[in-house]
């Protein structure tokens, strides 16, 4: 019994001694780390991270959404795609052509190409862009190109440019009357087209209307002239103001009275609306007749005696 106990005691002591020796002896990796740290090739171990440091460390190790999108909002790499890249009055050839037409409309004399391009700040662009814009100006229906008469061969730099209005040559009362007299049809002239080459034509149209030389159609809302026709002043007749006053004092009968008098005289009034007539019912409400039900081909011929109608045999 004692010998067995002694053996167990010795075994336990040996295991405890081995464990103590393993705990006290430094590992090879630990020794190497200490040597490297002493030589300066390995930085000292960092302390255990806290909650805040863990968050910052995760942000450093893993790229955030802002970093993936290309930086913060203040960096030049951040592009807002919901806004246009070019803002202002317009940089395309179409928008610049509209400004060129508007600028030439206010000029009474033809302008060279460099004056138009200078107004549009187009001279700083490449020569190919300038040549393309000049070619587009020559094709525009609202711009007239006047070639240089002293040159036999024209280039994109030669000639001058002038605004071409919708109704050319009409800029006064005399020219307007002459244009209306030359028309071979009874169509009128749009005031909008007149203002394309004669912006301040409203006063002249009002004067010609007072002189019974033109007929004017005006808008009901603001009285602005819309269309103009030629008028003959010899056909204008003055009405006595007293007659106008008497006419306003005349009491006309109502429409119902006029219609009744016309019907009594055997005439049909023009103001009578056939849709207002009361439809006279000729009879009571007729019930819709139910259509007889059609039966298809009878396949159960062996049961015909059972499907017969014996209702007529009822008492």
Q: The domain that contains 231 carries what CATH number?
A: 1.10.10
Same domain, 192 and 231: yes
pLDDT at position 226 over 90: yes
Domain membership flag for residue 68: no
Domain membership flag for residue 306: no
Which of 134, 163, 192 is the last residue before a domain boundary? 163
- The domain total for the chain is 2
Q: Give me the pLDDT at residue 298, please.
A: 65
Same domain, 124 and 183: no
Q: Give me the pLDDT at residue 59, please.
A: 43
Q: Give me the pLDDT at residue 12, please.
A: 81
Domain membership flag for residue 88: no
Predicted confidence band of residue 88 (pLDDT cuts 50, 70, 90): very low
Tens digits of residue pLDDT in 234-277: 888 888 999 989 988 988 888 888 888 989 998 888 866 555 66
Which of 146, 163, 180 is the last residue before a domain boundary? 163
Domain membership flag for residue 285: no
Predicted confidence band of residue 41 (pLDDT cuts 50, 70, 90): very low
pLDDT at position 33 over 90: no
**For residues 161 and 287, which has the higher predicted lDDT (pLDDT)?**
161
Domain membership flag for residue 10: no
Same domain, 100 and 179: no
Same domain, 256 and 210: yes
Pick left, alpha or beta for residue 197 (phi over 0 → left; psi -120 to 50 → alpha; otherwise beta): alpha
**Which of 73-77, 154-158, 286-290 has the least mean pLDDT?**
73-77
Which of 163, 183, 215 is the last residue before a domain boundary? 163
Percent of the chain past pLDDT 90, that is, above it, reads 37
Same domain, 175 and 233: yes
Predicted confidence band of residue 30 (pLDDT cuts 50, 70, 90): low
Q: Give me the pLDDT at residue 164, please.
A: 92
**Which H, E and C letters describe the chain, residue by residue?**
CHHHHHHHHHHHHHHHHHHHHHHHCCCHHHHHHHHHHHHCCCCCCCCCCCHHHHHHHHHHHCCCHHHHCCCCCCCCCCCCCCCCCCCCCCCCHHHHHHHHHHHHHCCCCCEEHHHHHHHCCCCCCCHHHHHHHHHHHHHCCCEEEECCCCCCCCCCCCCEEEECCCCCCCCCHHHHHHHHHHCCCCCCEEHHHHHHHCCCCHHHHHHHHHCCCEEEEECCCCCCEEEEEECCHHHCCCCCHHHHHHHHHCCCCCHHHHHHHHHHCCCCCCCCCHHHCCCCCCCCCCCCCCCCCCCCCCCCHHHCCCCCCCHHHCC
**For residues 48 and 146, which has the higher predicted lDDT (pLDDT)?**
146
Predicted confidence band of residue 100 (pLDDT cuts 50, 70, 90): very high
Same domain, 230 and 172: yes
**For residues 219 and 73, which has the higher predicted lDDT (pLDDT)?**
219
Domain membership flag for residue 191: yes
Same domain, 175 and 143: no
Same domain, 142 and 185: no
Please give the average per-residue pLDDT across 283-294, as a whole number: 64
What span, in angstroms and rounded, lies between the C-alpha atoms of 109 and 106? 9
pLDDT at position 68 over 80: no
Q: Give me the pLDDT at residue 77, please.
A: 56
What span, in angstroms and rounded, lies between the C-alpha atoms of 261 and 256? 9
Domain membership flag for residue 61: no
What span, in angstroms and rounded, lies between the C-alpha atoms of 213 and 207? 9
Same domain, 182 and 237: yes
Same domain, 172 and 196: yes
pTM, full prediction: 0.48
Domain of 197?
168-263
Same domain, 193 and 158: no
Same domain, 126 and 202: no
Domain membership flag for residue 141: yes
């Amino acid at each position: 019994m004692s010998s067995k106990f002694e053996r167990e005691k010795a075994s336990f002591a040996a295991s405890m001694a081995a464990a103590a020796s393993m705990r006290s002896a430094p590992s090879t990796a630990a020794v190497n780390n200490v040597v490297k740290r002493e030589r300066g090739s390995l930085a000292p171990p960092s302390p255990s991270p806290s909650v805040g440091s863990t968050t910052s460390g995760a942000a450093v190790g893993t790229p955030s959404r802002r970093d993936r999108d290309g930086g913060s909002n203040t960096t030049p790499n951040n592009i807002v795609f919901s806004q246009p890249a070019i803002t202002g009055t317009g940089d395309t050839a179409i928008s610049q052509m509209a400004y060129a037409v508007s600028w030439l409309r206010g000029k009474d004399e033809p302008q060279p190409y460099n004056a138009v391009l200078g107004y549009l700040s187009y001279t700083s662009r490449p020569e190919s862009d300038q040549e393309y814009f000049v070619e587009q100006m020559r094709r525009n229906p609202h711009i007239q190109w006047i070639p240089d008469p002293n040159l036999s061969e024209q280039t994109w730099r030669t000639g001058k440019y002038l605004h071409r209005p919708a109704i050319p040559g009409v800029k006064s009362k005399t020219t307007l009357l002459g244009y209306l007299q030359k028309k071979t049809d009874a169509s009128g002239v749009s005031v909008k087209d007149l203002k394309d080459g004669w912006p301040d034509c409203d006063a002249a149209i009002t004067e010609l209307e007072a002189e019974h030389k033109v007929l004017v159609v005006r808008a009901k809302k603001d009285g602005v002239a819309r269309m103009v026709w030629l008028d003959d002043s010899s056909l204008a007749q003055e009405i006595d103001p007293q007659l106008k006053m008497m006419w306003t004092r005349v009491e006309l009968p109502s429409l119902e009275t006029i219609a009744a008098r016309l019907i009594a005289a055997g005439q049909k009034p023009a103001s009578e609306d056939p849709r207002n007539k009361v439809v006279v019912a000729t009879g009571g409400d007729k019930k819709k007749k139910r259509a007889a039900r059609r039966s298809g081909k009878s396949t159960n011929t062996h049961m015909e005696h059972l499907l017969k109608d014996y209702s007529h045999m009822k008492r």
